Amino acid sequence: MSGAVLSPSAPPPAPQPPEPPPVDLFGPVRARFTWIVVLAAIGAAGTVVPLVAVVELARTLWPAIEQQPVDATRAWWIVAIGAIALPVSFAAAWGSIMVGHLADAQLQRDVRTRMVDLLGRLPLGWFGTRSSGSVKKTVENDVSALHHLTGHAVHDLVVAVVVPVLSLGYLFATEWRMALACLVPLVLTVVLYGVMMAGSREQLALYDKSVERLDAATVEFVHGIAVVKSFGQGRRRHAGYADETDRFLRFYRGWMNETSVMQTVVEVVTAPVVVLVWLAAVGTWLTGGGAVAPVDVLPALVLGIGLTAPLLQLGYTGQAMRTALQARDSVTRFLQQPVQSRPERPVEPQGSTVRFDGVSFGYDDVRDVLHDITLTCRPGTVTALVGPSGSGKSTLARLLPRFYDVTDGRVSVGGADVRQIAPSRLYAEVGFVLQDAHILRTTVRDNIRLTSPDATDAEVERAARAARIHDRILRLPRGYDSVVGDDAHLSGGEEQRLTIARALVTDAPILVLDEATAALDPDSEAAVQDAISALAVDRSLLVIAHRLHTITGADAILVLDEGRIRERGTHDELLAAGGRYRDLWERNERARAADGTGRVAR
């Protein structure tokens, strides 16, 4: 890959993160919504017309009871219109729902495609601040929940408006007093639903968080079951998952108990039998007093019982609607996240020297955690970062592979600002092994060559030998073709060595090792340290270590505290200085003596 050579005297300005564009979630399917509305309106009108036809036919034939002539032509026209309206209603309703589901399929494909593209452009640090469960909920659960909006909600809302409007229009045109009686259960239903829905937004937010925590607990439990069982911690981990499940059930049960009484009242008020009894009572009172003729009560009895049915249907799907609206907001927020900037004219690094020049950094919700950091890592050297927890070691190291971008200053590789290097080129230069081993459910071979798909079997085996995991792999049922989580069950330390092999097969000239040996037993640790020492030839190694005996041979040790470099030098120089490093070293040695792992450091 070609690129411009960076001029040391006039470095180009670093690209700024692009402003996230406004998200038009339903843009790709908006045209289909018009057809959904039109067809749903036709279908809804088609359900009212046959009922009106029944009423008008009865009114047309009513004179026959009094031995008077009947308009037969009008009667046959009414029958024909009612007969035609019914299949038209079925066809239009079916068409509306079908278009809605086709729109949903297109929407979900579009949203998932946009999400996958966005995930590939987010800073790597974004993933470290979110659990797998929360990401899964947004990408899988929330996108699936959008189905109700496009597949059902638009159709149901149109029906809920058109049926009452047409029915009440006809009822007021025939007998206004019975029409007013029909309004009573309709208004009661709306009021009761309003009372029942009070506070639903807050409850939905709590429900959303509960589902997110439950998803995270489930993913964590399933993902780590092999490791926790191998260490005899299965019961403890299962207890944590069970506690989260119980917490979710308590919340959901309490929420349902609060709404069940009002839901029952709504269903009673909207029940066709209850509405029919009410209208019959009003009709009897009006006809008994001579205010209306018996035939004028018929329209309300036929059409009135159907006024609340669409609202009742909305009530039955209310939870799905609320979940879909919450999912819409969640997906929109996800798609609005700022992506990591990419250079328009990528710069090619000249060599593999790493420099941090006056680097400061702070997270979005935290003031600067790193202050004015300057250091150089040259090829063939090992630079170690040490210090107490929270001193900024991992944060500093993760600025190199652009997990985050600096707030101030500059991080460069081969003289090129990492923000000016194309991502694919940067990750060809910088490999990293983190504290948490991320292993995929695929073969051991594919796990090792995850970052180098074209690596040969010989290269994979050579990397595994260097990481001291080759012999363990050969003891698996199918060797390198064993599937992790299926017929390959590895301990935490073995998984860590697998990720080290993955970094080795990449053959990057710069390696970032964030406590790469933290999960290893003493023997494995010594073996991997030998491998890492061999790697240092012609490579830049940036190592974060809590176990200080693993970095005594480093070319430079930097002691961080409160986001600043307090001391720097070799192991012997820092011990002789008698400062912070010496205090850390003495505590490290006491801890090793206490747990019986006091090995002689190389």
Our CA dihedral for 225, 231, 232, 238, rounded to 10 degrees, sits at -30
Contact partners, residue 349, CB within 8 Å, separation at least 6: 412, 413, 414, 415, 416, 421, 425, 429
HEC profile for 377-444?
ECCCEEEEEECCCCCCHHHHHHCCCCCCCCCEEEEEECCEEHHHCCHHHHHHHEEEECCCCCCCCCEH
pLDDT of residue 254: 73
pLDDT of residue 501: 85
C-alpha–C-alpha distance, residues 108 and 117, integer Å: 14
Domain limits of the chain?
A: 27-335, 354-594
**DSSP labels for 547-576?**
SGGGGTT-SEEEEEETTEEEEEE-HHHHHH
pLDDT of residue 222: 61
pLDDT of residue 89: 92
C-alpha–C-alpha distance, residues 384 and 371, integer Å: 18
Mean pLDDT by 10 residues, the chain (602 residues): 40 52 80 92 92 88 77 89 92 93 91 86 74 73 86 87 90 90 87 72 69 68 51 50 77 72 77 86 88 86 84 71 82 85 87 91 77 90 88 88 89 91 87 77 89 88 86 91 86 80 84 72 65 67 84 89 91 90 87 58 34
Options 3.30.450.40, 1.10.3720.10, 3.40.50.300, 3.90.660.10; CATH of 354-594: 3.40.50.300
Structure tokens at 171: 């009822």
Which class would CATH give 27-335? mainly alpha
Q: What pTM, to 2 d.p., does this model score?
A: 0.66
C-alpha–C-alpha distance, residues 274 and 188, integer Å: 13
C-alpha–C-alpha distance, residues 203 and 200, integer Å: 5
Other CB atoms within 10 Å distance of the CB of residue 366: 8
pLDDT of residue 94: 94
Tell which phi-psi region holds residue 398, choosing left (phi > 0), alpha (psi between -120 and 50) or beta. Answer: alpha
Do 421 and 531 contact (CB within 8 A), yes or no?
A: no
Other CB atoms within 10 Å distance of the CB of residue 448: 28
Provide the CA 574 distance to its chain's centre, in angstroms. 46
Q: Which amino acid is it at 39?
A: L
C-alpha–C-alpha distance, residues 184 and 430, integer Å: 72
pLDDT of residue 224: 52
The H or E element spanning position 591 is: helix 580-594
C-alpha–C-alpha distance, residues 255 and 267, integer Å: 18
pLDDT of residue 133: 64
